Amino acid sequence: MFEFMVAALMTYAGLGAVFAVPFLAAGIHRVDSHAKGSGLGFRLLVFPGVAALWPLLMGRWLRGVSEPPVEVNAHRKKAGSP
């Protein structure tokens, strides 16, 4: 059982690393306009997060979502912001 869990985690991490390379090269600016024109340092910094969250980011990239969702919390509600 432990070997299966390690193999599954390694597969997930490997797929994430494979996804992160083209996403950081061509797709990140489509998902978040603030990342447009970002340099290599920024892309290396976010690489682990992209590799970890690759299913979420792949879905947003394929759906053509152009901006991150607006967080809705008690502070924004109190201020009257959307």
Is residue 36 very low, low, confident or very high in pLDDT (cuts 50, 70, 90)? confident
Spatial CA neighbour of 67 closest among 24, 25, 39, 30: 30
Report the distance separating Cα 39 and Cα 9, nearest Å: 30
- Residue 78 within any structural domain of the chain: no
Is residue 77 very low, low, confident or very high in pLDDT (cuts 50, 70, 90)? confident
Q: How much of the chain exceeds pLDDT 70, in percent?
A: 98
- Residue 79 within any structural domain of the chain: no
Task: Give the total number of structural domains in the chain.
Answer: 1
Q: Which domain holds residue 20?
A: 2-68
pTM score: 0.74
- Residue 12 within any structural domain of the chain: yes
Q: Region 38-55: what's the mean pLDDT?
A: 94
Answer yes or no: are the C-beta atoms of 16 and 51 closer than 8 Å.
yes
pLDDT of 81 reads 64
Answer yes or no: are the C-beta atoms of 30 and 66 closer than 8 Å.
yes
- Residue 76 within any structural domain of the chain: no
